[in-house]
């Protein structure tokens, strides 16, 4: 079991490095920007894959949006539905969603903006600039996992 967890963490680190996500080792806080939540950057502390929720705990997961095709030179971190301090934050239990800019979004913006909040995602989805699909992409993070958010220092 331990080797399976180590293997999963190693795979996650490679995946997240490719997608611009900073990852902390198990038990070791990472205080560098790893994702956006409520317009701020947050660090992480390891990951644990979780089983899919059931009817009784579905509300205990927040959406984590991973943008797979941003062309912004500033880089695009994943975006959380909520962050610490937000009453809707569930403590770092995530349901991964894949986000892609549409051709219309690229035509409208040229270089797309960096998205930093759930409100940004909602706006651009309503304009037809984004397609949001529940679940992860091939080679992406687990669909359901735990990863608490920590202040960036």
Per-residue pLDDT of 135-144, as tens digits, reads: 999 999 999 9
Q: Name, in order, each residue with C-beta under 8 angstroms of 118's C-beta and a sequence gap of 6 or more.
A: 38, 63, 65, 79, 80, 81, 82
> How does pLDDT run across 80-124, given as a tens digit for each residue?
999 999 999 999 999 999 999 999 999 999 999 999 999 999 999
Are 96 and 133 in contact by the 8 Å Cβ rule? The answer is: no
| pLDDT tier at 27, thresholds 50, 70, 90 | low
**What is the 8-class DSSP label of residue 142?**
-
> How does pLDDT run across 51-68, given as a tens digit for each residue?
999 999 999 999 999 999
- pLDDT of residue 8 exceeding 90: no
**What is the 8-class DSSP label of residue 125?**
H
- pLDDT of residue 48 exceeding 80: yes
Average pLDDT, the chain: 85
């Amino acid at each position: 079991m331990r080797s399976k967890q180590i293997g999963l963490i190693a795979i996650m680190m490679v995946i997240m490095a490719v997608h611009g996500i900073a990852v902390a080792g198990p038990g070791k806080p990472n205080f560098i920007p790893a994702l956006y939540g409520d317009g701020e950057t947050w660090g992480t502390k390891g990951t644990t894959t979780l089983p899919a929720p059931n009817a009784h705990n579905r509300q205990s997961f927040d959406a984590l949006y991973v943008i797979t095709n941003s062309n912004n030179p500033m880089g695009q971190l994943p975006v959380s539905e909520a962050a610490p301090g937000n009453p809707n934050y569930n403590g770092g239990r995530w349901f991964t969603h894949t986000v892609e800019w549409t051709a219309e979004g690229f035509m409208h913006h040229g270089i797309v903006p960096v998205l930093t909040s759930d409100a940004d995602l909602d706006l651009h989805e309503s304009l037809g600039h984004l397609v949001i699909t529940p679940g992860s992409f091939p080679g992406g993070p687990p669909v359901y996992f735990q990863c608490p958010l920590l202040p960036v220092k």
